[in-house]
Amino acid sequence: MDNVEKLTVVGAGYVGLSTAVALALLGREVRVLDTDAGRIEGLKRNQPPFYEPGLAESLVRASAKLSYTTDPAEAYADTELAIVAVGTPPTPAGHADLRYLYQALETLAQHPVSLVVIKSTVPVGTNHDAKKILGPGVALASNPEFLRQGQALSDTLYPDRILVGAEEEWVFGVLERLYRPLIEQSFEELPWLPRPKALREAIARGQRVPLVRTGLESAELAKYAANAFLATRISFINEIANVAEAVGADIEEVVRAIGLDPRIGPHFFKAGLGYGGSCFPKDTRALAYLAKRGGYDFKLLRAVIEVNQAQRYRLVEKAEAVLGRLSGQTITLLGLAFKPGTDDLREAPSLEIAEELLARGARVRATDPKALELARQVLDPRVELFADPLEALEDADAVLLVTEWPEYRALDWAQAKRRLRRPVVLDGRNALDPQAMEALGYVYQGIGRGRKRSELAL
């Protein structure tokens, strides 16, 4: 197959839509197939189905190259190449639910495509099984995506590496051609999605974005390994933060000191309430399960998951310790999304924190710059939601900063104090300056910002 100018992307979620839009911005003609008619209708009017920086603008700019449908016959008419990026959500037991993937593959098997590229995160061995569904005439590539929500388009356009698992040489060739503008970064800088400085400089020095060629199983495992390692870093630093509190050290100082070792590095070392979102919780559980099914007990990963679960309750425990009891107290949550820059509430620590506070008899008020609409659908209706953070703080006995939105750093904390019943701020993301907060008269605690021994008079 020669034609990489025209392709179909299956699944209009974060990964599928970012890929489709990025390839359309590079000049490819992209059809997007999704079973969700509402989503497709919205996209036809250039309405993004979720909040993602640069997406609204990109949908408009690339609209001449993008088309949307719920009809597979229309989606696969005269296309040789299909990229599958449907969701693989977790089942209650922790496996990846492959229902949508298999549905997509079965539909694909009835159409004459030559190459199917699987971008969905799938358990090792799935690509092999997919081959059987597609039959002998269709080639397959595993092409996992490493994009982050909140930077989905940027990560797709400016990747660190492109990973391709395949069994035939020509398949690598096709994907290399498909992604050439990304590999060479040969497209004009997009003003609304600027190229990161480090990448611009690397390209100027003649470097390219590496395309890593592997077998199918290695590509599948590499995706899980990347997410498991990043999750491990987070649980590790959260454990060190908890130790810092116990012994009177400051995690921010510790990270600064160890991050300078190039073998360790400073990235992905923010102590806080643990990881959430649609990837880390799901993929760590899926990898632990995958290992177990293969007869191996992945002890380290099980501990990473356990530590992450416990970390979510740190602020609730701190609130109870500071206030004496939670029953009858008003607690305000600043931030609900699993991280800033997104309205996504999947596996957000805020959900369990709110539930736990309610279970302990507290009254819960909450705010978020982007996630309120979704919060209305998923949060316990007893949680009172406010668009204005200052209003959310009214009469609160303690403020729990759950998501480190820049808005909360920039909040007028002197004015905020006048709204509160008690000036208690528990910062689950170490987003605020402890000295500045204390100077304003707050009782302030972060995560892993232990009191020095001298201050504690131990």
Residues forming the active site: 279
The distance of closest approach from Cβ of residue 66 to ligand UDX in the complex, given in angstroms and rounded to an integer, is 23
Say if CB 251 and CB 240 are below 8 A apart. yes
Name the residue nearer to ligand UDX (CB basis): 72 or 341.
341
d(CA 384, CA 310): 25
Name the residue nearer to ligand UDX (CB basis): 72 or 428.
428
Name the residue nearer to ligand UDX (CB basis): 275 or 442.
275
- Check whether 39 is labelled as a binding-site residue: yes
- Check whether 282 is labelled as a binding-site residue: yes
- Check whether 270 is labelled as a binding-site residue: yes
The distance of closest approach from Cβ of residue 317 to ligand UDX in the complex, given in angstroms and rounded to an integer, is 18
The distance of closest approach from Cβ of residue 399 to ligand UDX in the complex, given in angstroms and rounded to an integer, is 19
- The dihedral built from the CA positions of residue 197, 200, 206 and 211, taken in this order, carries a sign that is positive
The distance of closest approach from Cβ of residue 280 to ligand UDX in the complex, given in angstroms and rounded to an integer, is 5
Name the residue nearer to ligand UDX (CB basis): 205 or 267.
267
- Check whether 88 is labelled as a binding-site residue: yes
- Check whether 339 is labelled as a binding-site residue: yes
- Check whether 62 is labelled as a binding-site residue: no
The distance of closest approach from Cβ of residue 270 to ligand UDX in the complex, given in angstroms and rounded to an integer, is 3
Report which residue's Cβ sits closest to ligand UDX: 279
Q: Which residues bind ligand UDX (CB under 6 A)?
A: 146-149, 227, 230, 234, 268-270, 272, 275-277, 279-280, 338-339
Name the residue nearer to ligand UDX (CB basis): 113 or 251.
251
- Check whether 232 is labelled as a binding-site residue: no
Name the residue nearer to ligand UDX (CB basis): 72 or 272.
272
The distance of closest approach from Cβ of residue 231 to ligand UDX in the complex, given in angstroms and rounded to an integer, is 8
In this structure, what token pair is assigned to residue 93?
């037991």
Residue ranges for the known binding site for substrate are 223, 268-272, 276, 339
Residue ranges for the known binding site for NAD(+) are 34, 39, 88, 121, 282, 346
Residue ranges for the known binding site are 34, 39, 88, 121, 223, 268-272, 276, 282, 339, 346
